[in-house]
Amino acid sequence: MDLTPERRSVQRADLDRRMRDEVELEGILADRVPDWYGTLLSSIILAAGDAHVLYLSASFVVDGSAFSTVVALFTQKLCIHATVSGDEGQARSEPVVTAVPRSSLRSLHVSSDCDVFDDDGAPWPGTIRLVLMYRGGRSVTLPLAATRSAAAGAELHSLVDTSRGTLEQTA
């Protein structure tokens, strides 16, 4: 089913807000919107449809005039991975967006910097690193950026819980 213009506008606004909240993208999107940004959002919206985004992480790397942006987002049923890369002097860069069902999760690797014996240390669960491996060899390492907000940390913790639930259902 195609998104109505109103739902597409809501999805665009929500995705744009979440992308701008990503620390590594703040500076890139603050002054002027890069020409690849609108097509990246459109491609992600095509993959996600009307689904609510449960978790989003993004990174931006610059090497001279070359750049690379990677986005990972999760809905209730999908893991969506998007990349766009190019050179400042290059014509518009094409995003590559792949969606796989979250039910195709085969394993997860998780680590926390929280010491369960240290009651005065970082609050549970601390800083999480998560690697999700899907059927077909696709893996996603989260978070993509080093700096995260407290809200993003809570969303990642929730993603660990739901991913563990997915594995338990297929075991």
Q: Which sequence spans correspond to the domains of the chain?
A: 5-170
Look at residue 28 in the predicted model and tell me its pLDDT: 82
Domain 5-170 fold: PH-domain like (2.30.29)
Give me 32's structure tokens: 């002027």
pTM of the model: 0.90
Look at residue 11 in the predicted model and tell me its pLDDT: 94
* 67 and 105 Cβ atoms separated by less than 8 Å: no
* Mean pLDDT, rounded, for 96-118: 94
Residue 18, number of CB atoms within 10 A of its CB: 19
pLDDT in tens, 121-170: 778 888 899 999 999 999 999 999 876 777 888 999 999 999 999 999 98
- Half-sphere exposure (Cβ direction) of 39: Cα atoms closer than 13 Å: 12
Comparing 89 with 109, the larger pLDDT belongs to: 109
